[in-house]
Amino acid sequence: MRPPEEELKHLLLAPELALLKRIQRRCDALQLRVGDDPALKDSVRGVIVEVLRESGVQEHDRLSGALAPLIVSSMRQEIRNSREMMVDALYPITGQLVKAAVRNAFNELLETINTKLDEGFSVDRWRAKIQSRITGTSEAEILLRRNPPFDIEEIFVIHRPTGLLIERVTATEGTEDSDGGVDSELVSGLLTAIMDFTRDAFSDEKGGELRTLTFGESQLFLRTSANTILAAKTTGTPPPRFETALQRVFLSILDQWNDLLASFDEEDEDDQKASFIDDLNERFQDLLRDRRKNFRGGALRAYAVIAAMFLLIAIWPAWATYQYYRAQAIEADARNVVESQVALSGYPIDIRYDGDTEALVVTGLLPSTAAKESLISGLADRLPGVKNDLRLATMNQVRKDEIASSLGAIMNTELSKLKASLRQGMVDLETQTQANDAALAEKISKSVAGLDAKFNSFEKAVSQRIENRIATALIPSPTKLLTDWVQTNTLFLRDETQFRNPKWAKALLRELANLVESAPDDLRVRVVGYTDNTGSASLNARLSTERAQTVVKMLTALGVPEDRLITVGRASEKSIGSGENATYNRRVEFEIVFLPE
């Protein structure tokens, strides 16, 4: 029997008391489940596992999108913090991948070496022939097994920061459906993780990236940027220019769609993403068409560039050779013009064709203005299309300079005399200013008349003296002509007594004979022979004398009296050339001798 107060409480608060009991039972059950850490762990473990299992089946995409960044970030952080432990833990998985990457690198090196060797003597073909003879299998079948047909099966475009698959294109079905995307997304996530792990665990100072992966009969060719991974799955042996074509496709995708790829969001479905999918399909079809052509387009362009380079290399020497021989021909024609004019014999004239200015440069000293005009006319007739750069001086110009200097001195002297006379006349006029006007006028008239007469006399005197000086300067004496000739002319020989230019030598000696005939009788010409220093002293002495005697005989045959010629041999006493120019020492020179000498 309960006390009255308890009975009253029960009657008044029965529902509330029942509720308190139920709450107490629930609190006790909750205390048992989460009251301490071990109990909480046991209860939460079962709930989380069940939730993840149901979400993986019903909402897989949302779950993977939510967990992938956290998982990838955690893996990266763990790799950085415990790199050695991660390498040891993941080696059974990644070790094989690393080995495959290293093996691929060696395979590529071996293929490059083999290609270089096969270009010369085709080792593969001879090996296939021998194997065909031994096994009885056709050579074509052996080569087909060794080099299976190359094919591009599919292409993945992956968002690198998150590892999410942006799009996948296959050769047979086009763009993959969303229904079959589970495997593709799994591949993209694992591929991103493998690449990041390889980069972090086996860091390359040069920033290298994983380029190929081989698995079974297939290969993955990888092209990467900061935000995007392009993976092409292939079978068979790739042609040499496939990777170049794949790189070109990847760069073109980045160039057009970089903004979309950098800010990729799996939840977005807009026109820009649809345009990207269409463009990716089109580029993949272009890549397949290039594969059917064995990627020859780039080779043809490369061959065209190489052909153009070889053409330029072939044309340049031909053009340089043409320019050289053209310059030589122009110089030879110009020298023929000079040699054909006897008046220029013995005068120093240098001829050179300047290829930069395309002009014939002629420098030297000529005997007269008439000879200069004759040379200019001859060059114009012989070389009508060649520009001439003439730097010629004449003996007349030298004499005119001398005359101008002398005339200047004469004019200064006569002007000084005139000034003195005028000054005296002014003094006389000033003295007469004291006289009457009539007398002054008469005196002024007489003074002016006297000045006029003096000026006329001065003018006649100056003109006469100028004419006399010009006549004397422009008509040199026979002695002067002969002296100038022997100072500017030399005969050169090849061997023994053979002249280098016999025709020119005869013309010079004919001119010398005429000058000797006009010169005074007390003037003699010494003919001096020289040699180089290649022979003995006695041989050179004899040879130099013989050369002088040969010239003397030619002069006497032209009418020069033998008593006006003196023969001298000086061997190699006075050399004028050495090295390649040593042959210029084989010569005959002339000297003026007067009777007292």
Beta-carbon contacts of residue 467 (< 8 Å; ≥ 6 apart): none
Kindly report, residue by residue over 4-24, the tens digit of the pLDDT. Answer: 777 777 777 777 777 888 888
pLDDT for residue 178 is more than 60: no
pLDDT at 179: 43
Helix (H) or strand (E) holding 365: strand 359-366
pLDDT for residue 403 is more than 60: no
On the 0-12 / 13-18 / 19+ scale of CB atoms within 10 A, 136 is exposed
Proportion of the chain above pLDDT 90, given as a percent: 9
User: How far apart (Å, rounded) are the C-alpha atoms in residues 546 and 199?
Assistant: 93
Neighbours of 250 (CB within 10 A): 22
Q: Which residues pair with 351 in a beta bridge?
A: 362
Do 196 and 76 meet the contact criterion of CB atoms below 8 Å apart? yes
User: How far apart (Å, rounded) are the C-alpha atoms in residues 59 and 434?
Assistant: 144
Neighbours of 221 (CB within 10 A): 20
364-368, 450-454, 479-483 — which is least confidently predicted?
Answer: 450-454
pLDDT at 91: 61
Backbone φ and ψ for 180, nearest 5 degrees, come out as -100, 25
Query: Rounded to 10 degrees, what is the CA torsion of 367, 368, 369, 375?
Result: -40
User: How far apart (Å, rounded) are the C-alpha atoms in residues 124 and 172?
Assistant: 33
pLDDT, greater one: 594 or 198: 594
Proportion of the chain above pLDDT 70, given as a percent: 65
Kindly report, residue by residue over 361-370, the tens digit of the pLDDT. Answer: 888 767 667 7
pLDDT for residue 182 is more than 50: no
Do 341 and 377 meet the contact criterion of CB atoms below 8 Å apart? no
Helix (H, G, I), strand (E, B) or coil at 59: coil
For helices 60-81 and 181-201, the axis angle rounded to 10 degrees is 10
pLDDT for residue 120 is more than 70: no
pLDDT for residue 399 is more than 60: no
- Band (pLDDT 50/70/90 cuts) for residue 432 is low
Residue with tokens 């269409």: 278
Backbone φ and ψ for 534, nearest 5 degrees, come out as -80, -25
Which of 239-243, 427-431, 548-552 is predicted most confidently?
548-552
pLDDT, greater one: 425 or 135: 135
pLDDT at 106: 57
Q: Read off the tokens for 50.
A: 């069940």
Backbone φ and ψ for 536, nearest 5 degrees, come out as -75, 165
pTM over 0.95? The answer is no
- Band (pLDDT 50/70/90 cuts) for residue 180 is very low
User: How far apart (Å, rounded) are the C-alpha atoms in residues 369 and 391?
Assistant: 13
Neighbours of 35 (CB within 10 A): 12
pLDDT for residue 574 is more than 50: yes
Kindly report, residue by residue over 404-414, the tens digit of the pLDDT. Answer: 555 556 566 66
Residue with tokens 């006329």: 456
Residue 118: half-sphere exposure toward Cβ, Cα within 13 Å:
13
For residues 266-283, give the mean pLDDT. 80
Q: Read off the tokens for 296.
A: 């020859």
Backbone φ and ψ for 560, nearest 5 degrees, come out as -80, 125
Kindly report, residue by residue over 499-514, the tens digit of the pLDDT. Answer: 988 888 898 899 999 9
Do 295 and 237 meet the contact criterion of CB atoms below 8 Å apart? no
pLDDT at 427: 61
Backbone φ and ψ for 463, nearest 5 degrees, come out as -60, -40
pLDDT at 398: 46
- Cα-to-chain-centroid distance, residue 576: 44
User: How far apart (Å, rounded) are the C-alpha atoms in residues 32 and 38?
Assistant: 10
- Band (pLDDT 50/70/90 cuts) for residue 525 is very high
Do 375 and 351 meet the contact criterion of CB atoms below 8 Å apart? no
Mean pLDDT of the chain: 75
99-108, 253-262, 344-353 — which is least confidently predicted?
Answer: 99-108
Q: Are strands 349-354 and 359-366 parallel, antiparallel or unpaired?
A: antiparallel
Kindly report, residue by residue over 322-362, the tens digit of the pLDDT. Answer: 888 888 888 888 888 888 876 666 566 888 888 888 888 88
- Band (pLDDT 50/70/90 cuts) for residue 163 is confident
44-48, 109-113, 279-283, 463-467 — which is least confidently predicted?
Answer: 109-113
74-83, 376-385, 428-437 — which is least confidently predicted?
Answer: 428-437
- Band (pLDDT 50/70/90 cuts) for residue 587 is very high
For residues 238-256, give the mean pLDDT. 85
Which of 193-202, 376-385, 479-488, 521-530 is predicted most confidently?
521-530
8-state DSSP, 573: S
pLDDT for residue 468 is more than 60: yes
For residues 312-331, give the mean pLDDT. 83
What is the Cα gyration radius of the chain?
A: 56
Q: Read off the tokens for 69.
A: 């960044």
User: How far apart (Å, rounded) are the C-alpha atoms in residues 143 and 471?
Assistant: 103
47-56, 110-119, 246-255, 364-373 — which is least confidently predicted?
Answer: 110-119
pLDDT at 93: 61
Do 378 and 337 meet the contact criterion of CB atoms below 8 Å apart? yes
pLDDT at 568: 93
Looking at 341-394, list the stretches that DSSP marks H as alpha helix, in order from N- to C-terminal side.
Answer: 369-382
User: How far apart (Å, rounded) are the C-alpha atoms in residues 476 and 483?
Assistant: 11
Q: What is the DSSP string of 182-229?
A: HHHHHHHHHHHHHHHHHHHHT--TT-----EEEETTEEEEEEE-SSEE
